[in-house]
Amino acid sequence: VAIVTGASSGIGLATARRLAECGASVVLTARRVDRLTDLAREIESAGGSAMPIAGDVTSLAEVNNVVAQTVDTFGSVDILVNNAGIMPLAPLAEARIDEWTAMVDVNIKGVLHFISAVMPHMIERKSGHLLSVGSLASRRPFPGGTVYSATKFAIRSLSWGLHLELGAAHGIRVTDIQPGFVSTELLDGDPDTAAAWAEAWSGRRTLQPDDVARAIEFAVTSPDHVS
Checking if the pLDDT of 126 tops 70, the result is: yes
Residues 207/210/211/214 CA torsion (nearest 10 deg): 160
Q: State the DSSP string of 104-171.
A: IIIIIIHHHHHHHHHHHHHHHHT-EEEEEE--GGGTS--TT-HHHHHHHHHHHHHHHHHHHHHHHHH-
User: 148 an active-site residue?
Assistant: yes
Percent of the chain with pLDDT over 70: 96
Checking if the pLDDT of 188 tops 80, the result is: no
Annotated active-site residue in 74, 100, 114, 148: 148
- What pLDDT was estimated at residue 78? 97
The pTM score is: 0.93
Checking if the pLDDT of 200 tops 80, the result is: no
Range of weakest confidence among 27-31, 99-103, 109-113, 186-190: 186-190
Q: Each residue of 42-83: pLDDT tens digit?
A: 999 999 999 999 999 999 999 999 999 999 999 999 999 999
